[in-house]
Amino acid sequence: MTLADVAKMAGVSKQTASRVVNDSAQVTEETRARVLKCIEVLGFRPSALARQLNSGRSYTLGVVANAEIGYLTNGAAYVGMVRQADQLGYALLSKEMREFSRSSVDIMLNHLIERHVDGIIWAGPEIGDSHAWMNDYPIDDLPMPIVVINAHPRAGVDTVGFDNFLAGKNATRHLLSLQRRHIGHISGPMQRWVSQQRWAGWRAALEEAGLAEEQSCYVEGDWEVTSGGPSLRRLLDVCPQLDAVFVGSDRMALGVLHEAHRMGLRVPEDIAVMGIDNDPQSAYFMPPLTTMHQNTVLMAEVALRLLVRRISERRDEPYPAACAEAEATVLTHELIARESTLGKSTA
């Protein structure tokens, strides 16, 4: 059913039919009614495709992520984006990247350009130099704006994320404030920027406290629950007097709690455990897990609003009111203190 069919049936021109569809004022009530009836009868739906073709807007945003889109959504971030997009009248096109070579970046961008997305949320994790292309390939040359999530801030690129250095530092400070002096760290994969930042924060806090010699108490995990236990064991090998661990994710922290229990270590008496993420389940671990909360839903929403704003700006259009505030690029974290570091134990 095309607009032409409607027009023919109503005995008017395509243009008049188009005017009815778009609520133009220049149509007699009588004509409007007639056309509307024909639309109803024929079950006509305007083709967004055709519209997009000559308006140059698709009202579609591309989301580039990798398998971690799963973790994105663990924290419900993806839901946040979908919802926010919906509210602003956009749809989301999801693409997954499996590797981060320069050529696969190009493939991804081309896909999105071909599909005329109005803007891109770059949610791929920053692994090694996976974001380097943004330096030598000026983003302003792309036909649409990009907002990058949870990555190293860089000049000329809009980023929205957390200060993971500070989060790591504050987490460690919390352990220090509880008189722990042998504080180890189990990081996520160290090619990843987020992991590096948290690790650096941990080191900085130790240094600040004059405990520089503890900085070797560190093991690299993979962010999965399975790597928590083995990492704890390795950490104890390196650093037998360990009395606290700052773990790079709540999932790994669960593995740590599990293993500590099996080894007969009491948490927090023998060893305090601190996570980061604040998964909904962490409050129900045994003992409940102290952790650092980062509001990833908010991150997703802010990023999306910022993107929509940039899109409007490029076209010299006013942007939706909801997007006006979208300046915040570094979001705050929050300490959630629970029993895995605090006084009384349930173990």
In angstroms, give the least distance from the CB of 15 to a second copy. 19
In angstroms, give the least distance from the CB of 139 to a second copy. 15
Q: Which x/- pattern over 177-216 shows residues binding DNA (rule: CB under 7 A)?
A: ----------------------------------------
In angstroms, give the least distance from the CB of 110 to DNA. 12
Cα distance between residue 117 and residue 133, in whole Å: 20
For position 188 contacting a second copy by CB under 8 A, the verdict is no
Tokens coding 224: 């999965």
Tokens coding 32: 């409007």
Lookup result for tokens 């970046």: 105
* Cβ pair 319, 326 in contact under 8 A: no
How far apart, in Å, are the Cα atoms of 304 and each of 33, 95, 150?
39, 16, 13
Phi-psi region of 9 (alpha: psi -120 to 50; beta: other; left: phi over 0): alpha
Cα distance between residue 17 and residue 122, in whole Å: 40
Query: Residues near 171 by Cβ (< 8 Å), separated by ≥ 6?
Result: 198, 201, 202, 205, 246, 274, 276, 292, 335
For position 318 contacting a second copy by CB under 8 A, the verdict is no
- Only one of the segments 152-160, 253-261, 265-273, 326-334 lies at the binding site for a second copy (rule: CB under 8 A); that segment is 253-261
Q: Which is nearer to a second copy, 18 or 52 (CB)?
A: 52
* Cβ pair 65, 94 in contact under 8 A: yes
Amino acid at 110: N
- Binding-site member from 6, 7, 69, 178 for a second copy (CB under 8 A): 69
Cα distance between residue 232 and residue 315, in whole Å: 53
- Only one of the segments 8-16, 128-136, 170-178, 180-188 lies at the binding site for DNA (rule: CB under 7 A); that segment is 8-16
In angstroms, give the least distance from the CB of 186 to a second copy. 15
- Binding-site member from 41, 50, 91, 107 for DNA (CB under 7 A): 50
In angstroms, give the least distance from the CB of 201 to a second copy. 25
Cα distance between residue 165 and residue 144, in whole Å: 31
For position 30 contacting DNA by CB under 7 A, the verdict is yes
Q: Which is nearer to a second copy, 23 or 30 (CB)?
A: 23
The site partner of 104 among a second copy, DNA, none (C-beta below 5 to 8 Å per kind) is none
For position 46 contacting DNA by CB under 7 A, the verdict is yes
Amino acid at 67: A
Residue 130 exposure: Cα atoms within 13 Å on the Cβ side:
22
Q: Which is nearer to DNA, 19 or 192 (CB)?
A: 19
Cα distance between residue 341 and residue 175, in whole Å: 7
- Binding-site member from 23, 26, 43, 155 for DNA (CB under 7 A): 26
Q: Which is nearer to DNA, 6 or 239 (CB)?
A: 6
Site for a second copy in 121-180 (CB under 8 A): none
Q: Which is nearer to DNA, 44 or 100 (CB)?
A: 44
Lookup result for tokens 């243009």: 15
- Binding-site member from 13, 15, 47, 332 for a second copy (CB under 8 A): 47
As a whole number of angstroms, the longest Cα–Cα distance in the chain is: 88
Cα distance between residue 195 and residue 201, in whole Å: 10
The footprint of a second copy (CB under 8 A) covers: 45-50, 52-53, 58, 60, 67, 69-70, 72-74, 76, 78-79, 82-83, 86, 91-96, 110-111, 113-116, 224-226, 228-229, 251, 254-255, 257-258, 261-262, 280-281, 283-286, 346
The footprint of DNA (CB under 7 A) covers: 1-4, 11-16, 18-19, 21-22, 25-28, 30-31, 44-47, 49-51, 53-56
